[in-house]
Amino acid sequence: MKENGLNRRQFAQSVGALVGGTLVLPELAKAFAGAPQHTPRAADGAIQIDSNENPYGPSPRAREAITNSENIACRYPDVTEMRMTDTIAKYHGVSTDQVALGCGSTEILRMADTAFLAPNKSVVVAEPTYEAVLNFAQVLHANPVKVPQTRDYLHDLDAMAAAANSSTGLIYICNPNNPTGTIVSKAALERFMDRAPRTAIVLVDEAYFHFVEDPSYGSVVDWVGKYPNLIVARTFSKIYGMAGMRLGYSIATKENTRALRASKLWSSTNAAVMTAAIVSLGDPDHVADQRQKLNGTRKWLYAELAKDGWRYIPSHANFTMIDVGGDVTPYIRAFAERNILVGRKFPSMSTWMRVSMGTPEEMQKFMAAFREIVPKSKAA
């Protein structure tokens, strides 16, 4: 099949280039250099272990769906959104009016801020955590309440519950947490939910849910009926390997879903990613395969770090934090000079470097560079 000089394979390759993130314009890199969400991108061939992406990309079935999406690429995604919403609802055993879609789960976080925050309202978060909720809250002139993590780098749920009051519009819990990779057990989260004000929305971000192997952890999607103030966010950016294609969703009560949808950008999803996401939800073998690969790579990295006595935070996600024993900023630059991109600096953890899991070959190159760049005398 060929129309207007673009055949199906060329269409897939064009989309694939965007998925892989290999095309970078210097002007765009400069424009986004100051943004807190991502570190600046490098030239072609860079080892990109800075943004918690899946280097293996979408599954073969998802790639085939992307290839075959050309027949709906010219249409607005309304019908495909209905299919996607219905698929997610069936997957989680909820009704379609409990599902909201977003341009990545980051749009879900913005929608939650817009729906439940306002001037003089507060948002309670752990420090550090993923910053998007705080960035959007700042635009709304809401008050940030940052609760320091515990000494073992966990959400301090008792302190977060104590910090929430009648003016709290939103409580954000990233579980596993970004950037620490630590988890809140399901039992601890249940105790927190019983203490949190019912007037405050509790937004649990499960972006890294699929990587967790600890039996104490569990999704809280099934709690939406029990706790009407609960919203759960998920994404196709991580284990499903579609960070560049942007699709996320939330599960909540019908009332809260209506509130979220009210601030959604029209047609903010796209047909190609939704056709890929629909088949991905029906491909559990791919999820298990990606979890094994990326968690296995993380365990290999731990063994290498342990050989040299480096401190790291045991993670339940596709990234980890390494204590480099001093301000991380010059080390981030030194890696970039070698065309290796590592995670941004988190001010409250200024000596810690966040490293995402790449392919085994990429991580071997990272470790070799790490041993040359970071003085071993800095190891704990």
Query: What are 36-87's pLDDT values in tens digits?
Result: 444 445 557 899 999 999 999 999 999 999 998 877 888 888 999 999 999 9
Q: What is the CATH number of the domain that holds 239?
A: 3.40.640.10
CB-based contact 249:108 (threshold 8 Å): yes
Domain assignment present for 312: yes
Report the pLDDT averaged over residues 239-266. Answer: 96
**167 and 205 share one domain:** yes
Domain assignment present for 2: no
- Rounded to whole angstroms, the Cα distance separating 254 from 305 reads 47
Query: So what's the pLDDT on residue 377?
Result: 75
Q: What are phi and psi of 294, to 5 degrees?
A: -75, -40
The whole domain housing 142 covers 76-281
89-109 tens-digit pLDDT: 999 999 999 999 999 999 999
117-137 tens-digit pLDDT: 999 999 999 999 999 999 999
Most confidently modeled range among 18-22, 77-81, 227-231: 227-231
- The answer, yes or no, to whether residue 20 has pLDDT greater than 70, is no
The closest of 13, 72, 108, 58 to 271, measured between CA atoms, is 72
**132 and 49 share one domain:** no
- The answer, yes or no, to whether residue 374 has pLDDT greater than 80, is yes
- Domain total in the chain: 2
Query: So what's the pLDDT on residue 41?
Result: 53
**168 and 275 share one domain:** yes
Structure tokens at 230: 């609960």
DSSP 3-state of 168: strand
Query: So what's the pLDDT on residue 19?
Result: 41
Which uninterrupted H or E stretch holds 109?
helix 104-116
**248 and 178 share one domain:** yes
Q: What is the CATH number of the domain that holds 289?
A: 3.90.1150.10
26-47 tens-digit pLDDT: 433 433 344 444 444 555 789 9
Parallel/antiparallel/unpaired status of strands 143-148 and 122-127: parallel
Who's near 324: CB < 8 A, 6+ residues apart? 331, 351, 352, 353, 374, 378
Kindly report the pTM of this predicted structure.
Answer: 0.88
Distances, alpha carbon 179 to alpha carbons 49, 218, 241, 380, in Å: 13, 19, 19, 20
Distances, alpha carbon 143 to alpha carbons 117, 122, 136, in Å: 9, 4, 11
Who's near 99: CB < 8 A, 6+ residues apart? 85, 88, 89, 92, 249, 250, 251, 257
Structure tokens at 313: 């935070």
Domain boundary among 231, 266, 281: 281
Report the pLDDT averaged over residues 195-200. Answer: 96
